[in-house]
Amino acid sequence: MITLPAVEAVGLTIDPTLLALLGLTLAGVVVRGKKLWLDFWCADLQPSRCREPTGLDNTPDNRKKAVAHLDEIRAQIRRGTFEYAQHFPRSNRLDEVEEKGESTFTKKTLLGRYMVRWLAARSPLRADNSVVEDAEIHPTTWLHDKGVVQRHIAPELGVLSLDEITPGVAIDFRRSLERELIDEGGRVVRKPLRAKTVNNILSVLRTALEEAVGRGLIERNPVVSYRRRRRKLRADPQPLAQEEVQALLAALPGRVDMRDGAYVDHGTLNDLYTVWFLTGWRPSEIAALRFDWLSFTTQTAQIRAGRSPRRDWTSPGLMDIR
């Protein structure tokens, strides 16, 4: 007997009309209301059919993103590396996944797999990318930790089990971060990282392993006893002189065309950069500024959010703009 999960796994094509006559549907990207959902099979769960929201509106570009996400999930399922919580950290099915042992850890659990579950459990984002109000950490902090795991910890330590992460391994890991990374062709693919960056990476690893100690998976944290390098003092900031600011404003283009057909004229650019220089706002904060955050009566601006490439998050602050 050929089951729908088996058909999907080998990539066979079935006439949708035949499926409709049989009262069946093949998994894929589906639309519910105005949102896109992922519909797929995971044999480790019962029922094995899974339906999860993407939080994306039904647009051509978003459908491409959803299809790419679904392809990644199917590939991981075939390889046996699929982690439900990595893709759907706020899913209602996580308790079911836990009961079936997908997230049961032992001291022999690979660090890479443990870190995936650790990140998913701390995620402050829902499936629709909204922020959980009582989240343990700020979204930007969580994205930073996720990047650290993906770029540094998982590639170098991910294949080691938890009980193989010794103080010696942690020291060797630190030293590798402080050296140039050279590929087989002799090319430098990564320069030595700064002390602050190294400390941040080790801090993420130490925090994750501290939880492993709390779970009884390892007896002690191998990173705790490491004495962190002292950071080098940064050079004093060198702000632009008034003449340099005026030269930059004079060099602004007369017009900037946007992708949607709109444009920004020279006057608007001049005002934008003038405010930027006078207030010292971050680029993300000035990009997220809203008109109703300005008070012309008190001559103040309320900074309520900073814009990232993916979403906006709250970051309150008040500044006098007189």
Answer yes or no: do 105 and 119 share one domain.
yes
The residue among 82, 104, 121 that closes a domain is 82
Instruction: Say yes or no: 68 and 208 in one domain.
Output: no
Q: Is the same domain home to 148 and 230?
A: yes
Same domain, 287 and 167: no
Kind plus residue range of the DSSP H or E element containing 257: strand 255-257
Residue 44 and residue 4 share a domain? yes
Which secondary-structure segment (H or E) carries 118?
helix 111-122
Contacting residues for 148 by C-beta, under 8 A, at least 6 apart? 200, 201, 204
First and final C-alpha spacing in the chain? 76
Query: Are 102 and 220 contained in the same domain?
Result: yes
Q: What is the mean pLDDT of each run of 10 residues along the chain (322 residues)?
A: 41 42 57 87 70 87 89 78 73 64 69 85 75 78 89 88 91 89 78 89 93 89 67 71 89 84 85 82 76 82 61 46 44
Regarding whether 207 and 129 lie in a shared domain, the answer is: yes
Look-up of token digits 């993103």: 65
Question: What's the pLDDT score for residue 305?
Answer: 61
| Residue range of the domain that includes 96 | 84-234
Which pLDDT belongs to residue 276? Answer: 81
Specify whether 35 is located in the same domain as 96: no
Q: Are residues 135 and 30 in the same domain?
A: no
Looking at the structure, tell me whether residues 111 and 226 fall in a common domain. Answer: yes
Q: Which residue among 199, 234, 269 closes a domain?
A: 234
Is residue 203 packed enough to be buried (19+ CB in 10 Å), middle (13-18) or exposed (0-12)? Answer: middle
Do residue 7 and residue 40 come from a single domain?
yes
Give the three-class secondary structure for 295. Answer: strand
CATH code where residue 138 lies: 1.10.150.130
Q: Say whether pTM exceeds 0.85.
A: no
Q: Are residues 228 and 276 in the same domain?
A: no
pLDDT at 27: 59
Considering 234, 253, 268, which residue would you say is the last residue of a domain? 234
Q: Could you give the number of structural domains in the chain?
A: 3
Provide the sign of the torsion angle of the four alpha carbons 92, 97, 99, 103, taken in this order: negative
